[in-house]
Amino acid sequence: MQHSYRQLADAIGADIRASRYQVGERLPSVRLIAETQHVSVSTAIRCYRYLESQGLVEARSKSGIYVADWKSRQTTSTVTQKKNSQAAPAVEYDKLMSLQHRMTELYSLTAQPLHLGLHLASAAPEWYPCESLAKIAQRLLRQDPMLIGVYPGGTGLPALKTSLIQWLKNAGMDLQANDLLITNGSTEALSVALRAVAQPGDAVIVESPVYFGLLQMLENLGIKAIEIPCVPGQGISLEALEYALEHQGTVRAIVAMPNFQNPLGCAMPDKNKKRLLRLVEQYDLALIEDDVFGDLSHQQERPQAIKAWDKQGRVIYCGSCSKSLAPAFRIGWIAGGRYQARINSLKLSASLITPLFEQAVLAEFIQSGALPSHLRKLRERLAANIPLATAAISRHFPLGTQVISPAGGWWLWLELPEHIDSLALLRQAVAKGIAFTPGSLFSGSGKYANYLRMHIGRPWGREMEQGIKTLGTLISEM
Amino acid sequence: MQHSYRQLADAIGADIRASRYQVGERLPSVRLIAETQHVSVSTAIRCYRYLESQGLVEARSKSGIYVADWKSRQTTSTVTQKKNSQAAPAVEYDKLMSLQHRMTELYSLTAQPLHLGLHLASAAPEWYPCESLAKIAQRLLRQDPMLIGVYPGGTGLPALKTSLIQWLKNAGMDLQANDLLITNGSTEALSVALRAVAQPGDAVIVESPVYFGLLQMLENLGIKAIEIPCVPGQGISLEALEYALEHQGTVRAIVAMPNFQNPLGCAMPDKNKKRLLRLVEQYDLALIEDDVFGDLSHQQERPQAIKAWDKQGRVIYCGSCSKSLAPAFRIGWIAGGRYQARINSLKLSASLITPLFEQAVLAEFIQSGALPSHLRKLRERLAANIPLATAAISRHFPLGTQVISPAGGWWLWLELPEHIDSLALLRQAVAKGIAFTPGSLFSGSGKYANYLRMHIGRPWGREMEQGIKTLGTLISEM
């Protein structure tokens, strides 16, 4: 939803006048207002400035925004306004630079209607087997509606575990039912995995650039992220990693996407995977392997998971159906090795259990043998778009643009000329109905400001060509 | 799944012989084995004893269980056996006393086939509107299968929020869409609420007796639980609470179920609710109000939520459809007041979003106006069972048995004669196919050993009468 600063101000003003906020009470920060109200930070600031002009709130520098003594202020609002309209931006300025802010900015920018969402996190709906899944779902509901009345228990639907164990053999894994826990998507899998191996104050190593959702998760868990460069065609730099491990005491785990890293899309060669695993064993660490893109290879063979070589149970494998099969189902899985018991317990107290209905539908779909042919089509479609997108970019983007060509998944990682700030570019692009993910989101320190991540997991056509041309023009004008 | 200690031992032994566990490596504790393999702790202990007798593992007192130097031990296994069969039980003895263990024991005991599960956490499936919900679900899937291919975003399906906002007026709440976040059941709601207001090392106040899932959640979050007596007909003792607040520095929040507390089933009078809220404001705390049973009053009017009087946004309201409407859906909601922004952010990095499909079905069901008549029936059925169950208990249970009669929900809280350990009773009852929840689970300190919680949310009949008679006989024999 989009609010104008004035609507927002009227709502908050009404709460203050109704004494839902007491005089002197601290109000939510600009950033939090932006997050909860789904407005841009600048809108939130304008909202508070307006409330200040009304004498309803006051900004205290380095402290926050408070309910003013408005009853007695009504007469002196001009003075108040003058004073605070200077104070206000200062108060929140530091926050404006944070990753949280960059994400808020992205969410609010992309919340508006777009005709080309190159920031999306799943392939085009028509590229998923929605019809077949819906048919299975309807049949299950017809056959046994009483399922809705049953309070489920356990670590996952046995039938789904059986199908997954069979399926995961393609990644070289040999699992038992008790090695596996079904989660609410891979996000919950990553979250419980991190909580199982690290405490607040600990540090974990992540790839750089890295999926911003992981950085936010670590921030929310109070775990420090140490960013180690990820090299196209190589994966995380093992040299840099070893150096960091020698010099960092508090590292508990490494979080990596060896297969089709987000955003680079690169696959780690097997020899690097084995070396990484040896480092994990040598430094007594856990390795959280995020394999949500593992099935989306651009070849017809998928690479092995590091978990396949894990003898000591140090690898916590996280997978999901959200990228490869059914985005809306929110079903993920985790094979936690020696940490499984702790992981099961954390999941139990994080969300009890995962809905059985979607699990039953997935189980039937996989058992029906329809998954391989679906993935074959999906892989072909993704692979076919890479040269088309790369050609379009070289046609329309300025000289000095570099494209990292992925080996799997649906993202292109673009390096733009030095002087381009892709977050500024996004603001202009959104005005033309086009969104992408700015590079500065892929690092806690705001690196990669002149990079962007582009989603190409959709049928190729004039719309894509045009969108890329528009972006190219905007960049050239900057 | 049930394993015999021998099957389990053979599996672990095979792993050791295949060097999947290295010599000297620490093995999972008895408790963890019990949890992950879904066996009782005693089975896990027998399993390790057997492996010791084989010279494959050794128990190091106060430390744990390790892979023995088995190759060289093969000859001296008798000695090993003698030494370790003494050491083994000592190692884990302390753990056997923990809440974790009591829960593990409950889970493993109740995992076996039962003909009367008086430990269950939802009403009988036929008491839920499964047919109508299934019909809505099938229609939605027919109308728009492509929904399965869409990656959802946001804080919840707007249509569900609209229906809930309307519905929650019955509890005296007046919410806007942005005040509400849809979660994966109330467990996730409670978990993110706690993480939003307390850090590891902080303390929160809980009612005593209290739902053991909350105690486990706090343990997993590293938050200390301070148990304050909950008085039938009164709710949490405000006198004890005030005393605790005066003497405890690190309390951040209070977690309470003012409406139909689990396990007591009592409702807090409005004047106590208001006093509780005043204390929360006075001591600058957050109040996490768990209202999952609020709709299950035994009268036709539901009581108000404390949130209804909350002017300062200090009450974090948690609700769910799992008890009242659709147990399998795992849909909950949270109205977090001033903490909403932080709560939204924590949910985002805990499980991203909540599946939209179940949300859409719930929204349509509530919009159809079918909820009130469903709840009327459910409330009548629950209320009708109280006198029946109480009468049966007074017929069959020994003198000195006290029944706390609930004002809502489906649980009876029974005090048995002093000398009865209800966990020991459970072991005997399960052998006769009957389960209930032993009292010692409802306190971190193992209090309430001579209490039990009995589920009566099912059609009354001979089976219930018989089950209660059997329990009564077992108690009398103890």
DSSP string over B117-166: ETT-SS--GGGS-HHHHHHHHHHHHHH-GGGGG----SSS-HHHHHHHHH
Residue B73 banded pLDDT, cuts 50, 70, 90:
low
CB of A344 closer than 8 Å to CB of A181 = yes
The DSSP output letter for A174 is: -
B27 in contact with chain A, both atoms CB, cutoff 8 A = no
Give burial (CB, 10 Å; 0-12/13-18/19+) of B273. Answer: buried
- Give residue B81's pLDDT: 37
Q: Which of B100, B312, B349 sits opposite A216 (nearest CB)?
A: B349
- Closest in B146, B178, B329 to A130, CB measured: B146
For residues B235-244, give the mean pLDDT: 96
- Per the omega criterion (within 30 degrees of 0), is the bond before B28 cis? no
Determine the residue of chain B that is closest to A313 in CA distance. B20
A352 at B interface, C-beta within 8 A: yes
**Residue percentage of chain A with pLDDT more than 90:** 70
Each residue of A100-110: b (16+ CB within 10 Å) or e? bbbbbbbbbbb
Does A357 lie at the interface with B, CB-CB under 8 angstroms?
yes
Q: b/e string for B312-338 if b means 16 or more Cβ within 10 A?
A: bbbbbbbbbbbbbbbbbbbbbbbbbbb
Q: What are phi and psi of A443, to 5 degrees?
A: -155, 140
Cβ distance B327 to A151 less than 8 Å, yes or no, reads: yes
Q: How far apart are CA A149 and CA A136, in angstroms?
A: 19
Three-state SS at A478: coil
Mean pLDDT is lowest, of A206-210, B74-78, B195-199, for: B74-78
Per CB-CB distance under 8 Å, the chain A contacts of B200 are 199-200
Q: Would you call A184 an interface residue with chain B, using a CB distance cutoff of 8 Å?
A: yes
Q: Does A338 touch chain B (CB under 8 A)?
A: yes
Chain A segment 396-455 residues within 8 A of B by beta carbon are none
* Integer Cα distance of A171 and B151 in angstroms: 25
d(CA B407, CA A318): 44
Q: Taking CB atoms and an 8 Å limit, are A330 and B351 in contact across chains? A: yes
Question: Looking at the complex, does the CB of residue A350 fall below 8 Å from at least one CB of chain B?
Answer: yes
pLDDT score at A315:
98
Q: Using 50, 70 and 90 to split pLDDT, how confident is the model at B439?
A: very high
By three-state DSSP, how is residue B319 classified? strand
B147 Cβ under 8 Å from any chain A Cβ: yes
Q: Which residue of A has its CA nearest to B128?
A: A149
A233-242, B110-119, B179-188: lowest mean pLDDT where? B110-119
Contact A130/B145, CB-based, under 8 Å?
Answer: yes
The edge-to-edge listing of strands for the beta sheet with B64-67 is: B26-27, B64-67, B57-60
Pick from B338, B340, B349: which is nearest to A213 by CB?
A: B349
Alpha carbon distance, N-terminus to C-terminus of chain A? 30
Q: What is the mean pLDDT of residues B424-431?
A: 93
Distance CA B288, CA B294 (A): 14
- As a whole number, mean pLDDT of residues A402-411 equals 95
Q: What is the pTM of this model?
A: 0.81
- Cα–Cα separations (whole angstroms), residue B307 to A198, B230, B262, B274, B322: 35, 20, 19, 10, 20
CATH 3.40.640.10 residue ranges in chain B? 130-370
pLDDT of res. A372: 97
For B332, the enclosing helix (H) or strand (E) is strand B332-335
A195 with B25: Cβ contact below 8 A? no
Which class does domain A130-370 fall in?
alpha beta
pLDDT-derived band at B85, boundaries 50, 70, 90: very low
Is 70 exceeded by the pLDDT of residue A82?
no
Least confident segment among A121-135, A141-155, A200-214, B251-265: A141-155
Cβ atoms of B454 and B436 within 8 Å: the answer is: yes
How far apart are the CA of B213 and the nearest CA of chain A, in angstroms? 7
**Is A216's CB within 8 Å of B351's CB?**
no
Cβ of residue B352 closer than 8 Å to a chain A Cβ: yes
Tell me which chain B residues have a C-beta less than 8 angstroms from the C-beta of A338: 28
Residue-wise pLDDT for A315-325, tens only, equals 999 999 999 99
- CATH code at B4-83: 1.10.10.10
Query: Strands B315-320 and B286-290, how do they pair?
Result: parallel
Question: What is the radius of gyration, based on Cα positions, of chain B?
Answer: 25
Q: Residue range A113-128: average pLDDT?
A: 90
* ipTM value > 0.85: no
Q: Do B330 and A199 touch (CB under 8 A)?
A: no
Q: What's the rounded mean pLDDT across residues A5-15?
A: 84
Average pLDDT over residues A74-87: 38
Residues in chain A with CB shorter than 8 Å from the CB of B36 are: 178, 340-341, 344
Q: What is the mean pLDDT of chain A?
A: 89
Cis peptide preceding A209, ω within 30 of 0: yes
Nearest to A138 among B141, B185, B221 (CB): B141
Topology at the third CATH level for domain A93-125+374-477: Aspartate Aminotransferase, domain 1 (3.90.1150)
Burial class (CB in 10 A: 0-12, 13-18, 19+), A170: middle
Which residue matches tokens 């997935």? A362
Contacts of B354 in chain A (CB under 8 A): 184, 330
Q: How far is CA A100 from the centre of its chain?
A: 12
Alpha-carbon distance of A467 to A117, in angstroms, equals 10
Q: Do B311 and A20 touch (CB under 8 A)?
A: yes
**Contact call for residues B402 and B438 (beta carbons, < 8 A):** no
Q: Give the residue range(s) of CATH 1.10.10.10 domains in chain A.
A: 4-83
Which of A37, A184, A327 has the CB atom closest to B178's CB atom?
Answer: A37
CA–CA distances in Å: residue B138 to residues A133, A143, B135, B150, B363: 12, 11, 5, 18, 14
Write the secondary structure of B76-116 as one string of H (helix), E (strand) and C (coil): HHHHHHHHHHHHHHHHHHHHHCCHHHHHHHHHHHHHCCCCE
CB B30 within 8 A of CB B41: yes
Cβ neighbours of A349 in B, within 8 Å: 187, 191, 213, 216-217, 219-221
